[in-house]
């Protein structure tokens, strides 16, 4: 099942949360939103509130400050300002902000960790065509 398969609870539905930016779709969550399950999305996701499960997107994933994510993340760019627990794959770049907390194995092409961030896990860097679909 490679269609969108998401269970959204809380204040915003997927339709409400979806906005267009530069012609690219953006799935926008708020601090009170909860996403549980697996989301495969052609666009970018702004993750806030609570996320559990799996996010695979063609664009970027942005984990907001204060967000709590326990999920497998796969995106072009991943930016973590909140707390993330789970495997992360950034086809391009992973950025860990100063308040970011990441616990899990990471596969990236580029990596930036700001001072103050917390990271625990294995970092692998380089090209990973074969890994595109994840493990």
Partner 1 sequence: MFGWATLSTRRPASRLPTPVPEDHVSNGQRNSVVLGPKDRLVGQLFIEGDLRVAGTVEGELEATGDIEIAGGGKVNGQVTAYNRLVVGRDASLIAGDVRVGRLTVEDGATFSGRVSMGKHSVEAPKPVEAPKPVEAPQAIEPEPIPVPEPTPEPQPVVATKVVVAQQSKPIQKPTQKPTPQKGKRR
Do 47 and 63 meet the contact criterion of CB atoms below 8 Å apart? yes
Which residues touch 16 (CB under 8 Å, ≥6 apart)? none
Neighbours of 31 (CB within 10 A): 14
Do 39 and 25 meet the contact criterion of CB atoms below 8 Å apart? no
92 binds partner 1 (CB under 8 A): no
122 binds partner 1 (CB under 8 A): yes
Q: Select the residue interacting with partner 1 from 16, 19, 114, 132 (CB under 8 A).
A: 114
116 binds partner 1 (CB under 8 A): yes
In the complex, minimum distance from the CB of residue 73 to partner 1, in angstroms, rounded to a whole number: 17
Do 84 and 102 meet the contact criterion of CB atoms below 8 Å apart? yes
Q: Select the residue interacting with partner 1 from 14, 34, 40, 113 (CB under 8 A).
A: 113
**Binding segment (CB under 8 A) for partner 1, from list 41-49, 51-59, 63-71, 116-124:** 116-124
Residues near partner 1 (CB under 8 A): 93, 95, 110-126
């Amino acid at each position: 099942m490679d269609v969108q398969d998401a269970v959204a609870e809380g204040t915003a539905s997927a339709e409400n949360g979806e906005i267009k930016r530069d012609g690219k779709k953006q799935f926008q969550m708020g601090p009170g939103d909860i996403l549980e399950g697996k989301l495969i999305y052609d666009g970018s996701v702004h993750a806030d509130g609570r996320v559990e499960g799996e996010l695979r997107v063609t664009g970027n994933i942005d984990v907001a400050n204060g967000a709590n994510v326990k999920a497998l993340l796969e995106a072009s760019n991943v930016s973590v300002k909140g707390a993330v627990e789970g495997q992360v794959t950034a086809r391009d770049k992973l950025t860990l902000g100063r308040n970011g907390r990441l616990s899990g194995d990471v596969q990236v092409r580029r990596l930036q960790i700001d001072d103050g961030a917390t990271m625990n896990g294995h970092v692998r860097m380089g090209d990973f065509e074969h890994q595109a679909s994840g493990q």
